[in-house]
Structure formats: structure tokens, C-alpha cells
Structure 1
Amino acid sequence: MKLSVIILAYTTTNGLFEMTSNCINSLIESETAIGVEVILVESNKNYFNSGFVYPEFVKVIVPDSDFNFHKFLNIGIKEAKGQFVALCNNDLIFYKNWFSAIYKISQNNKNVKSFSPSGNVNDVDFLKDFELGYKIRTHIQGWCLVIYKDVLKRIGYLDETFNFGYADNDYAMTLKKYNIKHALVNSSKVEHLEREKVKKNREDLSEGYKKLQENVDLDTSKLPSYVLTAGNKYLLEDKKVLDDYVKYHTKWGAPNFLYRKNKIADLLISLNLGFLNRIIL
């Protein structure tokens, strides 16, 4: 099997069920020539008694623990049998041959091991088949990441310190540290329905986010000095985002220090000395 797709879902209403179902249906219809394993990691602990039923070919896993973005993805990764693993939100629409385009790039560029599809589904004219890089929301689309499963064995499972925010930032830094090339594949089209999702299912998702807020244990009286700046005012208004922000910089370095380390790491990569990033980062 070439591909295992791991989808995180929170099935509590007809709207959320319909959104996830559309995601799964478009996935299956998009790739008819390859075998696709679908693993759904469900946050609704009462899913099996909820009356919502996904197709039989979907393996639904309901963890006992509370939602943690990386932990739930790791649960799916451990179950995956594919050569490639796709880590996906449930608010996606997959376009025809989206993975075939990624697979083609992977076979012609053996040194590239991580990929994201393009979210610009109406953009059919592009100069390059793919673009290498680690920029968040430019090269790395956190809502859909495709990676060789054996690479995950090399770098270890996703860091479960990050249970919501800054997960894609941590993924990008991990790739850079281990000198693993990532590509945005322009010919691979997957539509991210984030704005539509928020509009239609705001109350249900807000309830889930509120629970995440309640689980935050953060002593705001001991915040690092780099947080207390005018530009970070928005962080102080959202305890969950603030917690994730502090976790990220505790791991990788304070913002100014991390900026300098990244400059050095990028230079080493450009000189084909990226293997030294294990020391720098």
C-alpha cells in the first residue's frame, strides 16, 4: 500500500459529520488507481454511540485521552501501513490525482522526503512543479502533510508537547534540524475549507477550543521577557496560543536567538552542509 491518510475529526453534529464525510469521499474519488488506507482519529469519546457512522473501510479510533494534536496524529501513524503517511485536517477537499502528483515528484527527487499539496486549487498555471522550503503557510501546509513513514522512524514521532498551536512550526524546525527536504507540490491540489468551516460550525468548534483552554496550566506571572512586548499583545488574550508559543520557544530558542540560528541553518543547507544542523538547532 502506497498511502495511509490520517484524519483528525470531532464528530458531534450533522454539520461536522457532513464535512468529514465530504473530505473522505473526495479523498477516495481523487485516487482510484492506488490503494488508500483511511484512519480517522476521533475526538468525540461517545462516537460509537452517537449514531454517526463512517464507511466500513474507514478505521475509526477513539483515544481514551483528551485531544492533543500531535498525540492523536501519532496514534494514527502507529496504525498506518502505507509507505507514505498523510496527516490531514477533516476540512479538506481532495482533487483528482493530488497524491499521484506528489508521488511523481518523490520518485524523480529521491532527496525530498516531505511534501504539502497546493491550496491554490484554481491556479492551473505555475512556473515550477514544486518549491523547496520550510516556510509555514507557504511551503509547509499544516492542514495536509505527506511524508515517508520511514522518515518518521528516523526523526521520532511528533512531539506531543504541542497539543494544538505551533505544531506545524515544530514540524518545520524538526525537518530542518534533520536536514530533511520539504516540497510544496504545485500540481497537487487540495482545498482547505477553514473559513467555511468556521462559519458553518463555529459554535461546535468553539466548544472544543474552550475545553482546550480549560486544560491549560500556565503561570502567567512567570512569562519569559520575550512575550511581554507590544507586538505580542494578541498572545496575552488567548491562553492556549500563549501556552503553545512559550512551549515552541522553550524548545527551539527565544525569538531573536532562533532567528539567528535559522539564518545559519539556512546557509548550511544552501552549501549542502545541512547535516550540521543537528548541532546548530
Structure 2
Amino acid sequence: MKLSIIILAKTDTLSLFQMTLNCIDSFYESEKNIDAEIILIESNKDYEASGFKYPDVVKVIIPSEKFNFHKFLNIGIKAAKGDYIALCNNDLLFKEHWFSEILSLGEDQNDIMSFSPVGKPKINTSNSSFEIGYKVMTHIKGWCIVVKKEIFQKIGLLDETFDFYFADNDYAMTLKSKNIKHALVYRSHVVHLEKQSVDSEVKSKNIPKELLSKYKIPKYLNDNQYSWVFNNEKNLSGFLKFHNKWGSPKLLYRKNKLADILIKGKLGYFNRFFLRLKF
């Protein structure tokens, strides 16, 4: 069983280069008996000119396009040869047997096709070693998602409309709409160094009013509870893309409630029609 690890990186400082190296090294330390390939999707087209060089065992791909989270992952997915594919940030530290635990579950439960490790050791009060769910940041850890390669025959490639913000949310809704199970695996442990690689431009606040005029803003966003949507333009853009594809938060809440009932009643197949309705 072969594993392809796709890592997104932007190597433009020594500290970021070292962080990515630590991520790669931690993988090889964590899984010594796994047949694996590492595919690094590099955003800095001139990284080698700055003296940075990754180990020869790492396949480095430098896209000609500007950074797009899902597009860059799709480039890696197309190049991957593994039976399992891990979609990863570069600010990760893999712990011992993290993938072996996922592989064991995947082989035992054929109907689970998507997995995430826990970020920190979690107290498990149930008798199960995993939990099925679609909640972003709880079940779906966007910084490390492992899938069986055949999942892309069911969902297609990742939606490149989502270049950064709400990419995880779109993935979660896509899985649920296709009736594909995702599991949080309690015994799989990967440390996430909490967005140390995220570009500083996404942290800007207060969108100028002249920029807001180019967006069609739903009326419900005027409520103060949605003020966070306007933290920066990329966040707003991602929110509106998600809104246009899946519906407003209120509508999604109702649809997800019914979708969960259908899944529990083993009627999740109907979610592929129901979750895309815009009533």
C-alpha cells in the first residue's frame, strides 16, 4: 500500500524552509515501513535561487499559476501514485504510526474514504477508536486530510473556486452530499503548528468601502453577528463563494439537520440531490 504526501509550501525564508524540512523529517521518523512518496507543491518560483534545496527524495513541483489552495492540491493529486493521498500543510509534525492507524481503519472499514488525525491527544470517552463526522476543525482538519485515491472518482477533483478560505467547508459539504464517510482517527496524532506558514496578507482587517461595491452582499450579512465575514477581502470572497454554492448559514443549518437524519437512517444517497437545492 503506497502513500502519497502532498505538502503545500512557500519557501522564501530560512525559517519556512526549516519548518518544511522538519515536517518532511518527522514523516520519515514516524513511519519507517511505509512505501511513500512526498510531493512538494512550491509557491516560490525562485526558491532555489535563494540557496534552498530539498532532499532528492522529495518531488518538487512549481506551478506557473499564482497560489490557489485547491488548485495546488489538485496538481499534487494528479501527480500522486499512492493508493492513499495525504493533503498537508507544511507546518506539521507527524507522530509515530500516525498513518498506520489510519491505514488500519481504512482497511477494516471499506466505506470510510476520508480521514483526519487529531491535532492534540484527545481523551476518548467512547469505545471506538474513531468518530464519523463532517464538522470542520472538529472532524475535518484542513491541515491534514488523508483519502483513499478512489474518492476522486466519486467527488471529482477539489473545487478550485475555493482558493483558500472556506475550502475545508466546501470539502466537508461535498463529502456529505456524496454520502462519503469521514473519520477523525483518535490514535493518529499529527501536531499542527497553528498557521505559522500563512501569508501575513490574510490577516488584514477592515475592507475599504469602495471594495465592497464589487460584491453582491446578502442582506443577512448586515447583522452584527456576521461582522467577522468582513475581516478581510479574501475571507468575504470565500464566504460568498460558499454561500452561492451551498446556501446561507440558516438554510445550511436546516439542510444539514435533515441530511444527518438521512445519513443515520442509511438514506444518505438522497443528500446528493437535497443538499444542492436552493429553496
Structures share fold, TM-score greater than 0.5:
yes
Residue 117 of structure 2 corresponds to 117
Instruction: Work out the CA distance in 1 between the residues paired with 2:22 and 2:169.
Output: 28
Give 1:185 shift.
Answer: 0.2
Preserved CA contact (<8 Å) 1:218 1:243: no
Q: What does 1:52-131 align with in structure 2 at a 5 Å threshold?
A: 52-121=52-121, 123=122, 127=126, 128-131=128-131
Instruction: Work out the CA distance in 2 between the residues paired with 1:42 and 1:271.
Output: 44
Instruction: Work out the CA distance in 2 between the residues paired with 1:56 and 1:255.
Output: 46
Preserved CA contact (<8 Å) 1:70 1:162: yes
Residue 164 of structure 1 corresponds to 164
Instruction: Work out the CA distance in 1 between the residues paired with 2:233 and 2:215.
Output: 13
One-letter code aligned to 2:224? A
Q: For the structure 1 residues 223 and 125, does the alpha-carbon distance in structure 2 shift closer, same or farther, using more than 3 Å as the test?
A: closer
Q: Deviations over 1:136-173 (max 9, x none)?
A: 11111010000011111221000000001111100000
Q: What does 1:118-267 align with in structure 2 at a 5 Å threshold?
A: 118-121=118-121, 123=122, 127=126, 128-194=128-194, 197=196, 205-206=199-200, 219-220=213-214, 222-267=216-261
Please tell me whether residue 45 in structure 1 is matched to residue 45 in structure 2: yes
One-letter code aligned to 1:139? H
One-letter code aligned to 1:223? I
One-letter code aligned to 1:258? L
Give 1:47 shift.
Answer: 1.8
Please tell me whether residue 280 in structure 1 is matched to residue 278 in structure 2: no
Give 1:221 shift.
Answer: 5.7
Preserved CA contact (<8 Å) 1:28 1:36: no
TM-score by length of 1: 0.91
Consecutive unaligned residues in structure 2, runs of 5 or more: none
Count residues in correspondence.
269
Residue 271 of structure 1 corresponds to 265
Q: For the structure 1 residues 18 and 271, does the alpha-carbon distance in structure 2 shift closer, same or farther, using more than 3 Å as the test?
A: same
Instruction: Work out the CA distance in 2 between the residues paired with 1:133 and 1:218.
Output: 35
Instruction: Work out the CA distance in 2 between the residues paired with 1:255 and 1:96.
Output: 39
Instruction: Work out the CA distance in 2 between the residues paired with 1:143 and 1:108.
Output: 25
**Structure with the bigger percentage of helix:** 1
Q: For the structure 1 residues 166 and 207, does the alpha-carbon distance in structure 2 shift closer, same or farther, using more than 3 Å as the test?
A: closer
Consecutive unaligned residues in structure 1, runs of 5 or more: none
Instruction: Work out the CA distance in 2 between the residues paired with 1:147 and 1:16.
Output: 26
Preserved CA contact (<8 Å) 2:124 2:186: no
Q: For the structure 1 residues 173 and 21, does the alpha-carbon distance in structure 2 shift closer, same or farther, using more than 3 Å as the test?
A: same
Instruction: Work out the CA distance in 2 between the residues paired with 1:2 and 1:262.
Output: 35
Give 1:194 shift.
Answer: 0.9
Q: Deviations over 1:112-148 (max 9, x none)?
A: 1100001114x47663300000011111101000001
Q: Deviations over 1:165-202 (max 9, x none)?
A: 1111000000000000000000000000016x2xxx78
Q: Deviations over 1:20-70 (max 9, x none)?
A: 000000011111111111000011011232210011010001100100000
Q: What does 1:6-45 align with in structure 2 at a 5 Å threshold?
A: 6-45=6-45
Q: Equivalent residue of 1:8, what SS?
A: strand
Preserved CA contact (<8 Å) 2:202 2:234: no
Preserved CA contact (<8 Å) 1:8 1:72: yes
Q: For the structure 1 residues 181 and 125, does the alpha-carbon distance in structure 2 shift closer, same or farther, using more than 3 Å as the test?
A: closer
Name segments (4+ residues, structure 1) moved above 2 Å: 123-128, 207-210, 217-222
Instruction: Work out the CA distance in 2 between the residues paired with 1:124 and 1:33.
Output: 28
Preserved CA contact (<8 Å) 1:226 1:255: no
Identity %: 54
One-letter code aligned to 2:271? N
Instruction: Work out the CA distance in 2 between the residues paired with 1:100 and 1:172.
Output: 23
TM-score by length of 2: 0.91
Instruction: Work out the CA distance in 1 between the residues paired with 2:228 and 2:35.
Output: 44
Preserved CA contact (<8 Å) 2:87 2:145: yes
Q: Equivalent residue of 1:189, what SS?
A: strand
Q: For the structure 1 residues 47 and 85, does the alpha-carbon distance in structure 2 shift closer, same or farther, using more than 3 Å as the test?
A: same
